[in-house]
Structure 1
Amino acid sequence: MSPREALHAEWTKARTLSGTIWLLLGTVALTTVVSAATAAASTCRAADCDLDPARIGLGGIQLGQTTVAVLAVVAVAGEYSTGTIRVSLAAIPRRPLVLAAKAAVLTALVLAAGTAAVLASFLAGRHILPGNGVGPDHGLPTLSLADGPILRAVVGSVLYLVLIALLGLGVATAVRDSAAAIGTVLGLLYLFPILAAVVTDPGWHRRLQQIGPMTAGLAVQATTSRPDLPIGPWAGLGVLAAWAAAALLAGLLALRLRDA
């Protein structure tokens, strides 16, 4: 089977699964609602306010990523639970092509939903935050895509969701069980912030934030100069990309070395 046919097969699977559309819509809705609520709860009354409007306006990403992770896991672990993965591997004997096709389709779906979610969150923050004093009146930037750092935060947030999806796909391919894969992905995302919060040593606190896929990846949303930022914006997204690449490699090895 050619790569084009493999892509078509994976696209057919994705669009015929009833859960796909609901998880994509859930990503948009959950991200937007939480971002809007975060913006509504953020106020700035002091003359010098230490807030980052972009990070606040895009705050829903931290919860919206959960539905993206579930979507990625279901894309592959669901086939293992039903046994249809045997049909897929029989039709496409080249197992790396199977994983590549799944990754491509998943990337396209999350890219579309992530763009909608991030733009909706951005517009909600742009509308809500100035009324709460989080804006030029207190020396903070206006949320505008014409501003380079803010555009980077918006684009980086979409890429962040795509990388979370690829991380979930890799873990699910390696683990094969839906519940275990979801638990592993969410554990990787939220364990590092929890550990960083309880560690008292400043050096270890910073290291944990630098290597955690979520804490490092979300650094791409930073648009104001903060001395406590553990890692640079693009470097942080690179850390998440490394986690996703490692997960995909582990998934590919498991796919090639184990029977379906």
Structure 2
Amino acid sequence: MSHSPSQSLTTNTSVTPHQQAPNSLLPKTYPQFILFGDSITQGASHILQSSLAAWYSRRLDVINRGFSGYTAPAGYSTLEQFFPLIPPTPITPPPRVQLMTVFFGANDACVAGSPQHVPLETYKAALRNIVAYPGLKLHATQPILVVPPPVDEYQLVGPDRNAATTAVYAAACRDVAAELNVPVLDLWTVFMTKAGWTPDDAAQGRPLVGSRDAPRSEVLDGLLSDGLHFTPDGYQLVFEQLVALLVAELPHLTPENLPMVFPDWKFVLGVDV
């Protein structure tokens, strides 16, 4: 999928760490990589968030803004309250939000009658609203849509979710990403492919892996802790796939191509090497 990389704000790049003396009185803030989503994001601190924080060490702060139980419309309402609408400047810089994953749909895909159910078109509209939020333009934020993963009906408790409905919402998220020309991390396809699912299975009308019409999947057992949320192995897979996406589609936003906020120690101590 092709897309146009976000351009850096002129005000943000007019003064760089290497152009300032180490004892500069101008305030410095780390740019941010926000993980925005529902409980799957909220639970990502031990593997996904910490691994990203290590990868982006001294370059970006990785911030967890996961909200358990939230749907995409609820997420959009919350985004309006925490995402700064003030453009960053060298003099009074709020943290610049450089990257943001948008990971909703697991709750929206609850079946009709569930209190978390969101109609399909409302879900898609909320994703569009998040990507079009004015704060993202002010901060030149690069959004990445994350497709909700499959569920495992063998592990789920209660009738609120099923594999077939989740697949429909996953496809809707992919459609919005294509429509808006933004990068997409397709976790539904990643997890299903790892579990042995192929496009030919769909063409032949075979039951979805994760549904009770198909044999129980040991792979999904290993990736999902309760049929919905991720195990450590699941989060590790997400980290690996997200890094692969960044390297392939957004190489200018990988750590090796981003400056450190504060300079190397040799510069600070005046060591000539």
Q: TM-score, normalised by structure 1?
A: 0.26
Structure with higher helix content: 1
* Structure with bigger RCO (C-alpha 8 Å, 6+ apart): 1
Structure with higher strand content: 2
